[in-house]
């Protein structure tokens, strides 16, 4: 006859707890600046993940004001542009696609990418990508 032993460990918290959450109010990280990669027009940047120590990813909100653009640039990581409001034209390796609210552009490492505001309303985006490993 085999005997089975059941051991129950009670702990105060999870065995693999990470650091405490960092809560960021966008008003605290907002600044007006020309967009990156060409300084085409003006934007409002919300550098949300900058407030998180030891982070492994970038997470930002950016508003491209009328006529503004993040100019074409090569990326060495996958990157996502997610449209919250307004309209834009995203370019990846020369192929241009019009995007609107509720649309995500998943851009691949090695591509030459950019995005510009079109239409009457500002283009509001969430931009996310991993940081290089140290």
Nearest to 64, CA basis, from 93, 86, 37, 96: 86
Q: Which CATH code is given to the segment(s) 29-130?
A: 2.60.120.10
Torsions phi, psi for 6 (to 5 deg): -110, 120
The rounded distance, in Å, linking the Cα atoms of 116 and 39 is 12
Phi, psi of 29 (to 5 degrees): -120, 10
The answer to whether 93 and 129 have CB atoms below 8 angstroms apart is no
* Order of strands, sheet of 123-130, starting from the edge strand that comes earlier in the sequence: 30-33, 43-46, 57-64, 123-130, 79-85, 104-107
Q: How many residues does the chain have?
A: 134
Span 40-47, average pLDDT: 98
Q: What is the CB-side half-sphere exposure of residue 94 using CA atoms within 13 A? A: 0
Of 62 and 12, the structure prediction assigns the larger pLDDT to 62
Domain assignments of the chain as residue spans, ordered by start: 29-130
Confidence of residue 134 (pLDDT cuts 50, 70, 90): low
The pLDDT of residue 8: 42
pLDDT of residue 13: 54
23: which residues sit within 8 A by CB, 6+ positions away? none
């Amino acid at each position: 006859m085999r005997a089975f032993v059941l051991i129950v460990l009670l702990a105060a918290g999870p065995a693999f707890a990470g650091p405490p959450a960092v809560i960021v109010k966008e008003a605290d990280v907002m600044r007006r600046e020309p967009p990156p990669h060409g300084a085409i027009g003006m934007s409002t940047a919300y550098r949300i993940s900058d407030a998180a120590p030891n982070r492994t990813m970038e997470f930002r909100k950016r508003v491209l004001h009328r006529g503004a653009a993040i100019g074409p640039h090569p990326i060495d990581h996958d990157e996502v542009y997610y449209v919250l409001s307004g309209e834009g034209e995203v370019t990846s390796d020369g192929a241009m696609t019009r995007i609107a609210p509720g649309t995500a552009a998943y851009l691949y490492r090695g591509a030459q990418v950019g995005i510009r505001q079109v239409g009457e309303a500002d283009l509001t985006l969430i931009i996310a990508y991993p940081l290089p490993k140290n």
